[in-house]
Amino acid sequence: MRPRRAKGAAVGLAVLTLLLVRASEARAAECSNPLVSTCINSETYWPTPGPMRFAAVAGTETVARGQVGFGLVASYLSRPIVLRIASPGPGGSDQFVVDNQVTGNFLFAYGVTNRLQLDFALPVTFVQTGAGTSPLTGGEDLRDTAVRDLRFGLAYALVPRLRVAPDLQGTDGSAGRGWSLAARMTFVAPTGDSSDFAGERAAVFAPGISADYRYRFLFAGAEVGARIRPITEFAGARVGTQLVTALGVGADVLDRDRLSVMAEARAYPNFVEQHTTSQSAFETVSRPNGKHILPAEWLLTVRTAPMLAGDVSFFASGGGPLPLGEEKAITVPRFRFLLGAVYAPGGRDSDGDGVLDKDDACPRQAGVRGGERPGCPAEENRP
């Protein structure tokens, strides 16, 4: 790593860490209600900047050294937070605290080296509806828009994916190995709107490790990590430190990244015991009930990367809840839809001739630089 580049990366991380500490201090006073806290992030889908093959499983690739990647991933979710309250009818009634929500994640990545990438994500909720805390407190409904918590961090390729075309990975006699491994560390600054279920009550630390494997047109990915945070409660539903687990499998329908289909699942085992609340004439009482929640979702994804040798990709996903826990888990929507567009310059050079695939007129044949057909053999190229 060049000293100047390393120094700049260190300074940037130091500034963002200071932001994290100051934001946590400011948020402490805003999240003072211990039993009906709105400092719970209703959006648990945190897409990672940089190259993305799966929608919900963190990738193992990074953008090339000195390159900048960016993307926009939009998420629509329905009823991630529902409150059941007593009513004259049997079983009570459901109040949709957060009913409909459309959030855009603006993603940025910078390749410090070919193995180290810095990340930054700015999520913004463009449209949302819901009752908010009004069924309990008589206050106002959710606001129409919200700024959510900033995320930043880094990714490091422990076993890097060689920078060749995906269909050359994991094939006999190819230049690409079949598997890769990467580690991530993400920091979440509690800068979101604290009254609209748009952010955490304090900083969140999210380490993780992801792996993927490819054999010819088949591929799979897995992720294990954690979201380390203090406990926050909303009417008995409690969210604290969670594991992050994800698994995806897929296949190329068309070669050269033109069309792929994937099935994915993601679960967040929650270590915190849930409570049951009761209201007396004087106070609200919260008592442990021995239950635990396991937020989990499934997704079906279609992806294409037809431009710039796979550096530009688009995907669409749809899915819903997986009933894995003892009871319905807070933050799990009844369904979710995703749309994403990502530019992640990977610096692929499949034939090793020094001309990147995106500029190479003959990306599978070693050739010469320059000329009318850069990257093609000399006999096919005129100076």
SS (H, E, C) 15-52: HHHHHHHHHHHHHHHHCCCCCECCCCCCCCCCCCCCCC
What's the confidence (pLDDT) of residue 91? 57
> Is the pLDDT score of 152 beyond 60?
yes
**Same-domain check for residues 365 and 230:** no
**Same-domain check for residues 248 and 327:** yes
Question: 239 vs 21, 233, 234, 252, 330, CA distance in Å?
Answer: 21, 6, 9, 38, 8
| Cα 110 to Cα 248: distance, rounded to the nearest angstrom | 26
**Same-domain check for residues 372 and 289:** no
**Same-domain check for residues 277 and 295:** yes
**Same-domain check for residues 196 and 209:** yes
**Same-domain check for residues 333 and 357:** no
**Same-domain check for residues 64 and 205:** yes
Higher pLDDT, 6 or 162: 162
**What residues have CB less than 8 Å from 255, skipping those under 6 apart?**
167, 217
**What residues have CB less than 8 Å from 130, skipping those under 6 apart?**
81, 96, 97, 98, 99, 100, 101, 141, 142
| Cα 60 to Cα 51: distance, rounded to the nearest angstrom | 8
Residue whose C-alpha is closest to residue 257's, from 210, 308, 294, 196: 308
> Is the pLDDT score of 20 beyond 80?
no
> Is the pLDDT score of 94 beyond 90?
no
> Is the pLDDT score of 50 beyond 90?
yes
pTM (2 d.p.):
0.88
**Same-domain check for residues 18 and 91:** yes
**Same-domain check for residues 199 and 110:** yes
**Same-domain check for residues 85 and 139:** yes
**Same-domain check for residues 123 and 206:** yes
Q: How many domains does the chain have?
A: 2
Domain with 369 in it: 352-383
**Same-domain check for residues 226 and 365:** no
The conformation of residue 142, written as its DSSP 8-state character, comes to P
For residue 128, what is the domain's CATH number? 2.40.160.40
